[in-house]
Structure formats: structure tokens, C-alpha cells
């Protein structure tokens, strides 16, 4: 009896020791796209890598710094303006994201109406989706053209929808694609009504958001003008020798640094306060 107890205690201790001593192999989760990759995809620039964008930012900053240094002979001013110019490519990509979202939001109701008409006419759901490559809105045709070719090759509707959603990289497109997936899996008896309801909802949302953006535009333009104006004035005044020499000292460097930080912080704060809620992508 004592031998069995000793054997049981020994086996238990061995298991406890092996739980801490033996390395555990975890199944690595597939890494999703980073923030910069998502931003480039939503801007329709999926072929551009984050490293290329970072390199462009560095080149922009360096070129601007050299030009301002050559014109003013003031290193602190050149560094500050160069850093601000380095953010310009990112700002342009963000602006492209907003314009692309607005453009796609305007054409999605028409695309959903085309889908509803095709389904009502007796077309199958995959054929109706592929037909948008020909008769759908112009901004959406390349993505649906790739979907049609993909479905013709593979015949897997769910996988093709996943790749379509990745190509569109649009929150409204995610909702439409997931609605089509559910309709395909559950059954298409209510597909026509679902598409009509979705089209009406998208139109109402677009109308409301357009009114809000129109009222918000003055605040956004005012924030951009308030940030850019002091630096434009400073660049114009920097060609005067008696003015630019004041920024070559330590006190001038501190003034430039504090001014740059204050402008960036104020701009970010105003944009955050006046920012409309942006719809996040689902299951992306």
C-alpha cells in the first residue's frame, strides 16, 4: 500500500514538474494587417507597402529640410518645417481614405438596387454579384470584376466574398458582403426584401452624414488654416535677415519647438472634437 502511495505521489510530482519545465507550443494566430496597411487598403493603395510610405515621409522631410536650410540658413526652422512636411504624405493618404469612403457610400445604394433587381429577375446570387462588374457603379466595377473571375475559377462563393471584402476595404461593403453571405447560407427567400431595406437604410445614412459633414466643413477648414498660417508667415518673414537670425539662438529654437508642439496638439484636439463617428469594418 505504501509503495502505491509513493508511486502516485511521484507520478503527480513528475506531472507538475513537466507542466512548468516542458515548453508549450502555442498555435500562432495569423497576424492581421497593421494600422498603416489598413489605411493604405482603405485608400485604394493596397499595392503600396508601409515601408514605401515611411520612405516617402522621410524623403519629404529631408528634402524640405534641405530646401528651407538653403533658403534661410536657420537649422532649427529647417528641422521643424521638415518634420511637419514629413507628415504630409500620411495626411494625403488619410484624405484619400475619406474621399474614397464618401465616393463608395454614394454608389452603394445603386449597387444594392442592381442586386435586388437581378435577384428579382431570377438570377442566382453569385451571378447577380458578378453582374455588377458590367452594370454596377463605375467605382465598384474593378472589385466585382475580380470577384467574377475569382468565382469562375474557384466556384467557392464564401471565399470569393472574403477576397471581395478585402479588395473593397470599405465599412459599407463589409455590411453588404456579410448580408449576402448570410442570405446565401440561410436561404434567399427574403433576399429581395433584405436588399431593398438595406438600400433604403444606406440612402438615409448617406443623406444624414452629408448634412453633418457640410456643417462640419467650416470647422475643419478653419483648423487647417489656423495651423498652416503661422508657418507660412514665418517662412515669408525668414527671408529677412534681421528676423531669421533671432531663431538661430537657443531661445529661438525653444520658441519654434513649443510653437510646433502647440500647433500639432491644437489641431489634433480640434479635429478630435469635431470628428464624426467613423464606422469600423466588421470581421476584417
Average pLDDT over every residue of 249-272 = 83
Task: Show Cβ contacts of residue 173 under 8 Å, excluding neighbours closer than 6 positions.
Answer: 104, 108, 164, 165
Containing structural domain, residue 169: 106-215
Q: Which of 17-21, 222-226, 261-265 has the highest mean pLDDT?
A: 261-265
- pLDDT (tens digit, 9 = 90+) per residue, 204-222? 888 888 887 777 777 777 7
Among all chains, which residue has been given the C-alpha cell 454614394?
Answer: 106
Residue 220 lies in a domain: no
Q: Where are the beta strands (DSSP E) in 72-208?
A: none
C-alpha cell at 257: 519647438
- The total number of structural domains in the chain stands at 1
Q: Please give the torsion angle defined by the CA atoms of residues 100, 103, 108 and 113, in that order, rounded to the nearest 10 degrees.
A: -150
Q: How many CB atoms lie within 10 A of CB 277?
A: 7
- pLDDT (tens digit, 9 = 90+) per residue, 106-133? 898 898 888 888 888 888 888 888 999 8
Largest CA distance in the chain: 100
Task: Show Cβ contacts of residue 136 under 8 Å, excluding neighbours closer than 6 positions.
Answer: 110, 111, 114, 144
Residue 58 lies in a domain: no
Residue 189 lies in a domain: yes
Residue 173 lies in a domain: yes
Residue 37 lies in a domain: no
Q: Do residues 177 and 165 make contact, with C-beta atoms less than 8 angstroms apart?
A: yes
Residue 68 lies in a domain: no
Residue 166 lies in a domain: yes
Residue 10 lies in a domain: no
Amino acid at each position: 500500500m505504501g509503495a502505491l502511495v509513493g508511486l502516485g505521489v511521484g507520478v503527480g510530482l513528475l506531472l507538475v514538474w513537466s507542466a512548468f519545465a516542458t515548453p508549450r507550443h502555442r498555435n500562432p494566430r495569423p497576424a492581421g494587417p497593421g494600422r498603416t496597411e489598413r489605411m493604405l487598403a482603405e485608400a485604394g493603395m493596397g499595392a503600396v507597402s508601409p515601408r514605401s510610405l515611411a520612405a516617402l515621409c522621410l524623403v519629404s522631410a529631408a528634402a524640405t529640410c534641405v530646401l528651407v536650410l538653403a533658403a534661410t540658413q536657420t537649422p532649427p526652422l529647417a528641422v521643424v518645417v521638415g518634420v511637419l512636411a514629413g507628415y504630409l504624405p500620411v495626411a494625403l493618404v488619410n484624405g484619400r481614405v475619406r474621399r474614397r469612403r464618401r465616393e463608395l457610400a454614394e454608389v452603394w445604394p445603386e449597387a444594392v438596387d442592381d442586386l435586388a433587381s437581378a435577384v428579382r429577375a431570377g438570377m442566382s446570387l453569385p451571378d447577380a454579384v458578378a453582374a455588377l462588374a458590367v452594370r454596377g457603379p463605375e467605382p465598384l466595377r474593378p472589385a466585382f470584376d475580380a470577384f467574377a473571375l475569382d468565382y469562375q475559377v474557384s466556384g467557392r462563393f464564401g471565399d470569393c466574398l472574403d477576397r471581395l471584402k478585402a479588395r473593397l476595404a470599405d465599412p459599407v461593403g463589409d455590411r453588404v458582403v456579410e448580408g449576402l453571405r448570410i442570405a446565401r447560407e440561410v436561404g434567399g427567400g427574403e433576399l429581395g426584401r433584405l436588399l431593398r431595406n438595406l438600400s433604403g437604410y444606406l440612402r438615409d445614412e448617406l443623406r444624414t452624414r452629408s448634412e453633418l459633414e457640410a456643417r462640419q466643413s467650416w470647422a475643419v477648414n478653419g483648423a487647417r488654416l489656423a495651423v498652416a498660417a503661422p508657418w507660412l508667415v514665418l517662412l515669408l518673414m525668414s527671408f529677412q535677415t534681421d528676423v531669421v537670425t533671432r531663431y538661430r539662438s537657443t531661445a529661438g529654437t525653444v520658441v519654434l519647438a513649443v510653437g510646433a508642439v502647440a500647433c500639432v496638439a491644437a489641431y489634433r484636439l480640434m479635429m478630435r472634437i469635431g470628428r464624426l463617428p467613423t464606422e469600423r469594418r466588421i470581421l476584417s
